């Protein structure tokens, strides 16, 4: 394998691992993603598509490492926001967090019907006290570092 194709491959494999773990935890483990969980997958999908494109046509994306690194920084930001919502540092989207009070029964009913069953501000799973959003912050930062360090390779 040429050095040019090595960089996208080194980013593709762990990206597929992260997305695969998320999908397995959803479809096999029964953890239903909240709105922010689903949003955090989008940068990985973008990097996976770019990595496949770079493997297929290396000359089409000469700055793959830089672009992937920037996408992973966005991913880390999204994951940090979700972590902050879980820790109640930031308010989350009204559709998937605890909402305020309702002025009437009709307003309360509308809030209940508009809300998702999976809340963004309550972690469903944690390992060593770190939620999936926290682990995604770490994974995204590591992958950003890896992508930036290989941007000229």
pLDDT at res. 140: 95
- Tell me how far apart the alpha carbons of residues 145 and 96 are, in angstroms, rounded to a whole number: 31
Angle at 44 between CA 46 and CA 33, to 5 degrees: 125
pLDDT at res. 153: 47
- Tell me how far apart the alpha carbons of residues 116 and 135 are, in angstroms, rounded to a whole number: 23
Q: Which fold has domain 3-92+101-149?
A: Bromodomain-like (1.20.1550)
pTM score: 0.78
Mean pLDDT by 10 residues, the chain (153 residues): 70 92 89 86 94 83 84 94 85 66 72 66 77 88 88 53
pLDDT at res. 124: 81
């Amino acid at each position: 394998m040429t050095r040019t194709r090595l960089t996208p491959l080194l980013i593709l494999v762990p990206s597929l691992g992260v997305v695969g773990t998320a999908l397995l935890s959803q479809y096999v483990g029964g953890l239903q993603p909240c709105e922010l969980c689903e949003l955090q997958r989008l940068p990985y999908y973008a990097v996976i598509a770019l990595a496949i494109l770079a493997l297929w046509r290396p000359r089409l994306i000469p700055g793959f490492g830089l672009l992937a690194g920037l996408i992973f920084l966005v991913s880390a930001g999204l994951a940090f926001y979700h972590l902050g919502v879980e820790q109640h540092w930031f308010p989350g989207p009204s559709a998937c967090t605890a909402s305020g009070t309702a002025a009437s029964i009709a307003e309360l009913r509308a809030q209940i019907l508009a809300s998702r069953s999976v809340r963004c501000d309550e972690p469903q799973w944690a390992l060593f006290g770190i939620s999936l959003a926290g682990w995604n912050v770490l994974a995204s930062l590591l992958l950003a570092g890896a992508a930036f360090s290989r941007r000229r390779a």
